[in-house]
């Protein structure tokens, strides 16, 4: 169990570092106005919940079409920016607001945005890591998640993972 908690901590740290490091992708600042397509990532909620159970959490994560709508809108907004802007904290409040815009319940939203190569397609682990960071705080909440892939204005393929903790 300690190994799985360590793995969750390492994945959380990796996500946090990639958000702050703006790890390449070429291009400087400036909004080029382009933007790429947004595609939904099919998450395996059974696998996510299996990871969380192995870490000792009894809460589960499920899909939400409302959250997905907001996440797609946030990714569409991000796709109009260069990668360095996408990973900057300047757009974080906009992402959180847009992601929650279609939710009917209140509560915090956690998210990560990074390059496609960073997690090598380990979508479920990334979502479980974000969810476990909330669950470890003992929030009495219902958890939903959504994930999309998009291309930044300067052509860098990116992921946006979002977990919403709706207060019970």
- Band of pLDDT at residue 76, cut at 50, 70 and 90: very high
Give the tens place of pLDDT for each residue, 99-128: 888 888 888 888 877 666 555 668 899 899
User: Which of 105, 8, 99 shows the shortest CA–CA distance to 54?
Assistant: 8
- The two beta strands, 38-40 and 141-151, are antiparallel
Q: Is the pLDDT of residue 11 over 80?
A: no
Q: Parallel, antiparallel, or unpaired: how do β-strands 157-167 and 141-151 relate? A: antiparallel
User: Against a cut of 0.95, is the pTM above it?
Assistant: no
Model pLDDT, residue 17: 34
């Amino acid at each position: 169990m300690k190994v799985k908690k360590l793995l969750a901590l390492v994945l959380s740290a990796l996500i946090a570092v990639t958000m702050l490091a703006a790890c390449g992708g070429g291009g400087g600042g400036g909004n080029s106005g382009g933007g790429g397509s947004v595609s939904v990532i099919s998450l395996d909620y059974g696998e996510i919940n299996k990871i969380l159970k192995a870490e000792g959490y009894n809460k589960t994560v499920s899909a939400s079409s409302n959250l997905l709508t907001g996440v797609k809108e946030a990714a569409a907004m991000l796709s109009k920016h260069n990668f360095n802007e996408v990973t900057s904290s300047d757009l974080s409040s906009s992402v959180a607001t847009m992601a929650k815009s279609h939710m009917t319940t209140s509560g915090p939203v956690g998210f990560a945005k990074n390059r496609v190569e960073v997690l090598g397609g380990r979508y479920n682990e990334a979502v479980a890591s974000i969810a476990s960071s909330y669950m470890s705080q003992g929030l009495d909440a219902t958890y939903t998640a959504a994930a999309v892939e998009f291309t930044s204005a300067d052509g860098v393929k990116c992921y946006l993972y979002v977990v919403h903790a709706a207060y019970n």
